[in-house]
Amino acid sequence: MNAVLIMAIAAATAAATMLGGIFALSLNRRIAMVLGFSAGAVLGVAFFDLLPEALSLGRKFFGLPGILAAAAAGFLLYGLFDRLVTRHDRPGCGPDPRRGFLGAGSFSVHSVLDGLGIGIAFQAGHNVGLVVAAAVLAHDFADGLNTVNVVVKNGGSKALALRWLLTDALAPILGAGLSLLFHFPAIAQALFLAGFAGFFLYIGAVDLLPESQRADPGVKTGLATVLGAAVLFAVTRLAP
């Protein structure tokens, strides 16, 4: 049953990625609010679900310092990976199709990891999987935005951007399928969940929050972030 659900959620993340890319091409003005809400949701799942679950599974193996170290490692490793994407414009540099290729390709690799993370979270528990899936859905919308933007800003055509968008959208389905081929013991699940918490902390704090701030520095965008975190807090508290 979980296998069917995991693949269905992976398909939903594909749809979220496509929707984000279409929003980017249409330059919808409500993108800032969506990004702000997504930032709060992603931070919320790290603080309210992934880290507590990682501690529950792995505290007897690693203790509190070990779990927090795994989360910090996830944060720092994702930061290094983010530098490879080169999604942000460099001063004095014009469009470079190679940067568009690298950026869009890196987003696709990241999306494979998203799908894998959903599958691993479901191995840790049904409710954990659902909350992680919600966070992935939230930030995959932004991935769709960024995939299109990094191609178009570096001289790529809209047709090329759409092809990369489709690749990025299908990537989490591949990752979710791979997760069904392996079973991870509790000790490994704890490390993976802590690492993914670090990933989501980076995505929310370093990626989504600044992007929403650039798009609209108003108070409403900040309130959308608070709302996103509050919704995830409520989801984790109400889950049986």
| Tens of pLDDT, residues 55-70 | 888 888 899 899 999 9
The helix/strand/coil state of 184 is coil
| Residue 63 one-letter amino acid | G
30 pLDDT band, cuts 50/70/90, is: low
- Nearest-5° Cα angle at 99, 98 to 105: 90
Quote the CA–CA distance of 22 and 86 in Å, as a whole number: 21
Average pLDDT value for the chain:
81
Q: Grade residue 97 by pLDDT with cuts at 50, 70 and 90.
A: low
- Predicted pLDDT at 71: 94
Query: Distance between CA atoms of 133 and 154, rounded to whole angstroms?
Result: 31
CA distances from 161 to 48, 153, 173 (A): 35, 10, 20
Helices (H), the chain: 2-26, 31-45, 51-85, 97-124, 126-152, 158-179, 186-202, 209-215, 219-238
Cβ pair 129, 118 in contact under 8 A: yes
Q: How far apart (Å, rounded) are the C-alpha atoms in residues 161 and 154?
A: 10
For 179-235, what is each residue's pLDDT tens digit?
Answer: 888 887 888 888 888 988 888 888 788 877 887 888 788 898 889 899 888 887 887
Assigned token pair, 92: 């004095």
3-state secondary structure of 181: coil
Instruction: Say whether pLDDT at 177 is over 70.
Output: yes
Please tell me whether residue 134 adopts helix, strand or coil conformation.
Answer: helix
pLDDT tens by residue, 138-170: 767 777 877 777 677 667 788 888 899 999 999
The answer for residues whose C-beta is within 8 angstroms of residue 82's C-beta and 6 or more apart is 202, 206, 207
Residue 70: the pLDDT is: 94
